[in-house]
Structure 1
Amino acid sequence: MLNIALFGPPGAGKGTQSKLLVNKYNLAYISTGNILRKEVEKNSELGQQVKEIIKKGGLVSDEIIVQIIEDELRTNTEKVNGFLFDGFPRTTVQAYILEGLLLKMNTELHCMLSLEVPKENLIKRMTARAEKENRPDDTQEVIKYRLEEYENKTKPVINFYKEKGNYRAVNGVGSLEDVHNSLVSHIDKVLQKIWFNVVLLGPPGSGKGTQGHKLAEEFNLTYISTGSLLRKEIAKGTEMGKSAETYITKGDIVPDEIAIKIIEREINKHPESRGFIFKGFPRTIVQAYILDGLLRKRNSSLSLVIDLNVPTLESFRRLTNRGKSGQGRVYDIDTDTIIRRLENYEKRSQKVYGYYGKKHHVVKVDGIGSEDEIYKRLCETIKQALKRAR
């Protein structure tokens, strides 16, 4: 998810540039000014409250702003890659409010881009706009008041985001194309720093491990398999390995405390990573919450959830054959253990799919076919997701 706030004084061109950026990056456009003007036009209860404030060029109360922003966030979450905020936040109080609203959605503001335009240019632009659009908030008196409000109340927001390290000043003087290209350049740099995280779901024997390794290499991501990591701990005879061994040999799920420790350790080992492919975790709805928490701790979130779809009988056949091949794991050799693993998966997976179905678009990929055929399907799925995200 990509979240941008486009900042700058009245008349800087935020509305015009916002439309271009919304289309380019598939973002939901959230403009407090537009929303409030629509409410005034409808003569709604909210519109009546803010009508006089807007006429004078004043700032609407934070209680009203929170209400409309939260409503917009809630109703614009599907089929978009994030949000572009125009006209919000306008004060440091609102900056804190936005932090809280995005935290509630398990995301954050990735950059604050400020269009820098000299005052004389702003006055000329707004005067011309007043004549063309007949906007009541663009009279000479109101223009002067709005610019003073920006200097006194809104400019301190810059310091808030400078301290967070995600503030960027952009020259707002020049052709429409030049300003747009400058904004895109900054945004593309931000996108390169945002992790792309994938959860690879599917029953035991669906091929997650084989495909996960190849996909991580293909897309320059870090592959994290809790099963593989725990088997290494068992082989080394560590305390963690000893604790996990009794669960793994029975085909049971390892306690969450062990899984958290090993996943967090692996994430910390790769600070330079562009993102992660998680295989074998989460296996329960509790673990789904845990993974969201682990990523949120690092100001990140899931980008894609893939369901490698394989029928139960096919999974059983694959696991049985793997056990007979001499390359099977300890839990592939015994038929009862294989059945136990598949039953555990069936019982617990539905809640995991339900959890991700509400928060993310789970993409089903057919897991039947040759290794190369399945790999091509998975690559195409990730390429499409990257295209939407980037």
Structure 2
Amino acid sequence: MRIVLVGPPGAGKGTQAAFLAKNLSIPHISTGDLFRANISQGTELGKQAKAFMDAGNLVPDEVTIGMAKDRMAQPDAVNGFLLDGFPRNVSQAEALDASLKADDVQLDAVLDLEVPEDEVVKRIAGRRICRKDSSHVFHVTYSQPKVEGVCDVCGGELYQRDDDSEDTVRNRLEVYHTQTEPIIDYYRAQGLVVTISALGKVDEVTARAMDALKRDK
């Protein structure tokens, strides 16, 4: 299957993408991974992306699209893939359609993870990260440490990242509504959108998504 995964920040896209890709035996292709791989490997596209990022500028669509096209052409993606974080706007969606059409293939589904805005803010603004090891993550509501402000694993101080503050989260949501959400209507016009609730436990959401994708086939 060839799937695009969309949803607001805090919807759990990265977590669901990993589980869904494994269940469907297709590669999980994320924008972040594309950037890191191309930059670390020193590809021409990676050099271009790094130059923009080092200057504090957004990476242009054509660079991101080029990376995505190269990755989708790899042998492990011949029979399908799950795109996470791409396309992020309608122009990228149009470019993706053109690229797939050139290869005589098409998307099977666009999975839309739906989460109420207040829940997104609660999820992200409630995160607390360990200063000693950022892989140790807690939450003021869903995963509280035994001692407030102290990491259960190593005893490090727990803190809220600047980009997890409520104001920043709401700004990120505004960017999502303005730039990325329009691709849902774009793909809905093609009959590709499958919307599911992303509320509940991780395995419940995964099962819901797998069921919806099977029914959509």
- TM-score per shorter chain, which class? 0.7 to 0.9
Write the letter of the residue equivalent to 1:169. T
TM-score by length of structure 2 reads: 0.74
Paired residues in the alignment total: 184
In structure 2, the residue corresponding to 1:90 is in which secondary structure? coil
Q: CA deviation at 1:190?
A: 3.0
How far 1:5 moved relative to its partner?
0.6
Q: What's the offset of the Cα at 1:23?
A: 0.7
Match of 1:91 among 89, 92, 111: 89
**Local SS of the residue matching 1:65:** helix
Higher relative CO (CA 8 A, sep ≥ 6), structure 1 or 2?
A: 2
- Aligned with 2:199 (options 170, 173, 183): 173
Higher Cα radius of gyration? 1
In structure 1, which of residues 110, 113, 121 is the aligned counterpart of residue 111 of structure 2? 113
Asked whether 1:122 is paired with 2:120, we answer yes
Cα distance between partner residues in 2 of 1:27 and 1:146: 29
Which sections of structure 1, spanning at least 5 residues, go unmatched?
54-58, 192-390
RMSD of aligned residue pairs (Cα, Å): 2.7
| Residue 38 (structure 1) shift | 5.1
The one-character-per-residue Cα deviations of 1:83-115 (angstroms, maximum 9, x if unpaired) are: 100011111111111101111222111111110
CA apart distance, 1:178: 1.1
Contact 2:65 2:95 in 1 (8 A): yes
Deviation at 1:48, TM superposition (A): 3.8
TM-score (norm 1): 0.43
Alpha-carbon distance in 2 for matches of 1:146, 1:8: 12
Q: Shift of the alpha carbon at 1:19? A: 0.5
- Helix, strand or coil: the match of 1:115? strand
Indicate yes or no: 2:179 matched with 1:153: yes
2:27, 2:77 within 8 Å by CA — same for their partners in 1? no
Aligned mates of 1:70, 1:177 — CA distance in 2: 31
String of CA shifts for 1:301-323, please: whole Å, max 9, x gaps. Answer: xxxxxxxxxxxxxxxxxxxxxxx
- CA positional deviation for 1:180: 0.5
Matched, 1:101 2:126: no
Following the alignment from structure 2 to structure 1, what is the Cα–Cα distance between the partners of residues 59 and 128? 21
The 2-side partners of 1:130 and 1:42 are apart by: 33
- State the partner residue of 2:29: 30
Aligned residue among 127, 143, 147 for 2:169: 143
C-alpha distance in 1 between matches for 2:91 and 2:115: 24
Flag the 1:39–1:124 CA change in 2: closer, same or farther, 3 A: farther
Q: Distance in 2 between matches of 1:150 and 1:11?
A: 11
Whether the aligned pair in 2 keeps the contact of 1:115 and 1:172 (CA below 8 Å) is yes
- 3-state SS, counterpart of residue 63 of structure 1: helix
Render the CA deviation track for 1:289-338: whole Å, top value 9, x for unaligned: xxxxxxxxxxxxxxxxxxxxxxxxxxxxxxxxxxxxxxxxxxxxxxxxxx
Contact 1:4 1:83 in 2 (8 A): yes
Q: Partner amino acid for 1:16?
A: T
**Which aligned segments of 4 or more residues in structure 1 are displaced greater than 6 angstroms?**
40-43, 134-137
**1:147, CA displacement in angstroms?**
1.1
Q: Structure 2 vs 1, CA of residues 33 and 78 (structure 1 numbering), >3 Å: closer, same or farther?
A: closer
Contact 1:39 1:47 in 2 (8 A): no
Would the alpha carbon gap of residues 130 and 83 (structure 1) be closer, same or farther in structure 2, given more than 3 Å must change? farther
| Amino-acid identity (%) | 32
**Residues 228-239 of structure 1: pairs in structure 2 closer than 5 A:** none
Rounded to whole Å, the distance in 2 between the matches of 1:110 and 1:137 is 38
Compute the displacement of 1:130 (Å). 6.5
User: Which residue number in structure 2 is paired with residue 71 of structure 1?
Assistant: 70
Distance across 1 between alignment mates of 2:35 and 2:211: 31
Q: Give, in whole Å, the separation in 2 of the partners of 1:114 and 1:131.
A: 28
Q: How far has the Cα of 1:80 moved from its partner?
A: 5.6
Structure 1 pair 139–93 and aligned structure 2 pair: CA distance change class (3 A): same
Higher helix share: 1
